[in-house]
Amino acid sequence: MMVQRPRGTRDFTPIEMKRRLALENLLEKCSRSFGYSRVQTPIFESLDLFTAKSGPGVVDQLYAFKDKSDRDLTLRPELTAPVMRMVADEMRVVTKPLRLSYFGQCFRYEESKKGRYREFFQYGAESIGIKGPLAEAEIVALALEMLHATGLEDWELRIGHVGILHEILTGLGLSDEGEPESEVQSAMRLLDKGDWQGLEKMIPAENIPPLQELADLDGGSEILSAAEKILSTLGIEGNSLEELREMLAALNDLATAPPSLKVDLTVARGLDYYTGMVFEIQVDSLGGEGQILGGGSYRLLHLFGLADLDPCCGFGLGFDRVLLALEAQAAAKGSEEIVPGENSSNPLAVIPFKIPASEVLSLVKSLRVNGQEVVVELKSRGLGKSLSWADAVGASHALIIGPKDLESGTCNVKNLQSGQQVECNLDAEAILASL
RNA sequence: GCUGUGAUGGUGCAGUGGUUAGCACAGCAGGUUGUGGUCCUGCUAGCCCGGGUUCGAUUCCCGGUCACGGCCCCA
């Protein structure tokens, strides 16, 4: 190969694109059913947008560049910040709450491997201008319905609440202030990793066991009562636990249950801007890159002067990883179909046999006008080869028109699966009726 | 960022320090001038890139590139 595709990028052939479009359509359908509307933002943005959100350190992982007027730009590494910018730029006066969905490629300069690409695709949803347990439940419910719709079977939803952690850690005397990272943030990071030795340096030793007990809680919403007891032994009183309880109850009503649900109060998502409920969806069989979705309640709009709309709630779905999981699942089950409905398109293959293809063009047009997908055999080959071609392009039926047919005003419609063939009149209506 | 494995037609695999580098599938053409997914024949097409060792390297060595895996990280 003379010119190679850049590292971490992929080409998508027609077969793959059919699959990807089917998945995108399926996700979009879920979004619409929840009242979310699609938006789109630029592939590149001002570098400032992402340094403001994630700090100057992110530049190392960006495809950042200067344009010919010396502006600092970057390919977008994610889509939440651009959507928030768009809300601030364009949608200040639009009725709230906003329910937005998006899909597109993002770029990160890092080591690529399976499930981790330098150009990758993210689907996501954000609700803006509404907060509280019901808004959070809606977002999680949308994520769950999406995954159910894909037909993926083996995955786990993990839900936590940064607010609870925050209440505990400030209650234990840790500071909420500080650059670049407050004590609370450092502690959350350690807690998320399970680094107890690190935590002992920040927190009185007698408080470590209850925290461990909290981290070890394993189960569904029933663990909330146990968590409540632990919090009271720590002398912490807060509203967050009750909010999480309400959120889980609402979720139970609003969405089909996930294959596995774990309430895990130490999920911190490693992000500084999350404020409330956080959640992740994990597919263990994917290995190291098994997180296929993540989100929660976060504060970002204050960066754009819209603090009154914070916190928002949303999630990003790793489009490529969901596909990998579906591919692995289909392979394990020996199933042909990877994304539901990916092969729903069944064109009619029109075969002009021993006649010029120009003889059938107006018929082809009228078939298409009537909503039929049509592919025309433009190569003159033997009838047998043409039928093979028709099969190869995914046609369900072949329409054979030869010299005798032109004379008699008939044609033959062959079902390529059954091999059955019927003769009918050479007009669009009769042909469509015989399919 | 660290580390392991690998790279041969479009795909999947053989193989070799030395003459034409094989096989299967796919593609194209024909065997069959109105019925396919069977069979037969032919054709197209390849040793990732750069350097080194050597009379000679696709093969051995080094570097790069890319892919896959394990840590780190993951807005």
Tokens 């990160």 -> residue: A108
**Which residue approaches B10 most closely, CA to C1'?**
A1
- Enumerate long-range contacts of A197-202, CB under 8 Å, 24 or more apart: A202/A174
Residue corresponding to tokens 């929840």: A34
Across all strands, nucleotide nearest A273 (CA–C1') = B75
The conformation of residue A416, written as its DSSP 8-state character, comes to T
Degrees to nearest 5, angle at CA A372 with A370 and A376 = 120
Average pLDDT value over all residues in chain A = 91
Q: Which nucleotide is nearest to A54 (CA to C1')?
A: B75
DSSP of A181-206, one letter per residue?
--HHHHHHHHHHHT-HHHHHTTS-GG
Q: Provide mean pLDDT across the span A325-331.
A: 91
Nucleotide nearest to A50 (CA to C1'): B75
Return phi, psi of residue A411, to 5°. Answer: -160, 170
CB atoms within 10 A of CB A353: 17
Query: What is the distance in angstroms measured between the alpha-carbon CA of A77 and the sugar C1' of B55?
Result: 55
Cα–Cα distance measured from residue A31 to residue A33, given in angstroms and rounded to the nearest whole number: 5
Closest protein CA to C1' of nucleotide B73, residue: A110
Nearest Cα residue to A300 out of A65, A59, A79:
A79
First vs last C-alpha separation in chain A = 44
CA of A199 to C1' of B44 (A): 67
- Place A2 in a pLDDT band, splitting at 50, 70 and 90: low
DSSP A116: B
pLDDT at residue A334 greater than cutoff 90? no
> B11 C1' – A14 CA distance, angstroms?
16
Please give the share of chain A, as a percent, with pLDDT higher than 70.
Answer: 99
Q: How far from chain centre, in Å, is Cα A262? A: 21
Distance A16 CA to B6 C1' (A): 25
Within a 10 A sphere around the Cβ of A222, how many other Cβ atoms? 10
Give the residue carrying structure tokens 């591919």. A327
Band of residue A312 on the pLDDT scale cut at 50, 70, 90: very high
Nucleotide nearest to A291 in CA–C1' terms = B74
Say how far apart CA A426 and CA A406 lie, in whole Å.
8
Which nucleotide in the DNA or RNA is closest to residue A387, CA to C1'?
B36
Domain A348-433, CATH class in plain words: alpha beta
d(CA A372, C1' B4) / Å: 54
Domains A14-333 and A348-433 share a fold: no
| Closest-lying nucleotide for A295 based on CA to C1' | B75
Higher pLDDT, A215 or A44: A44
Question: Which nt sits closest to A355, CA to C1'?
Answer: B34
- Residue A52 φ then ψ, to 5°: -65, -35
The answer, yes or no, to whether ipTM is higher than 0.90 is: no
Mean pLDDT of A170-199: 81
Candidates A84, A125, A120; CA nearest to A104 is A120
Contacts of A323-331 with C-beta under 8 Å, sequence gap 24+, read: A323/A19, A323/A20, A323/A23, A324/A114, A324/A115, A324/A286, A325/A152, A325/A155, A325/A283, A325/A285, A325/A286, A325/A292, A326/A23, A326/A150, A326/A151, A326/A152, A328/A285, A328/A286, A329/A151, A329/A152, A329/A153, A329/A154
Q: How far is the CA of A394 from the C1' of B28 (A)?
A: 20
CA of A395 to C1' of B27 (A): 19
**DSSP three-state, residue A42:** coil
The phi and psi torsions of A379 (rounded to 5 degrees) equal: -95, 135
- Closest residue by Cα to the C1' atom of nucleotide B71? A288
- CA/C1' separation A127–B2 (Å): 40
Q: Which nucleotide is nearest to A298 (CA to C1')?
A: B75
pLDDT value at A272 more than 80: no
Length of chain A: 435
A11 CA, B45 C1': Å apart: 21
| Helix runs in A272-343, H state only | 319-333
CATH topology for A14-333 is BirA Bifunctional Protein; domain 2 (3.30.930)
Instruction: Give the model confidence (pLDDT) of A132-168 as tens digits.
Output: 999 999 999 999 999 999 999 999 999 999 999 889 8
Contact (Cβ atoms closer than 8 angstroms) between residue A275 and residue A163: yes
How does pLDDT run across A98-119, given as a tens digit for each residue?
999 999 999 999 888 889 999 9
Q: A72 has which bridge partners?
A: A66
Determine the 3-state secondary structure of A430 from DSSP.
helix
- For B9, which residue's CA is nearest its C1'? A1
Q: How far is the CA of A310 from the C1' of B17 (A)?
A: 70
Write down the residue that tokens 């993210």 correspond to. A122
Which nucleotide's C1' atom has the smallest distance to the CA of A392?
A: B37
Instruction: For chain A, give every domain's residue range.
Output: 14-333, 348-433
Please compute the mean of the pLDDT values over residues A5-16 and round it to a whole number.
91
Which nucleotides of chain B are near protein (any atom < 7 Å from a CB)? Answer: 1-3, 27-38, 48, 65-75
CA of A420 to C1' of B41 (A): 31
Separation in Å: B53 C1' and A2 CA: 28
The band of A1, judged by pLDDT with boundaries at 50, 70 and 90, is very low
What DSSP designation does A341 have?
A: T
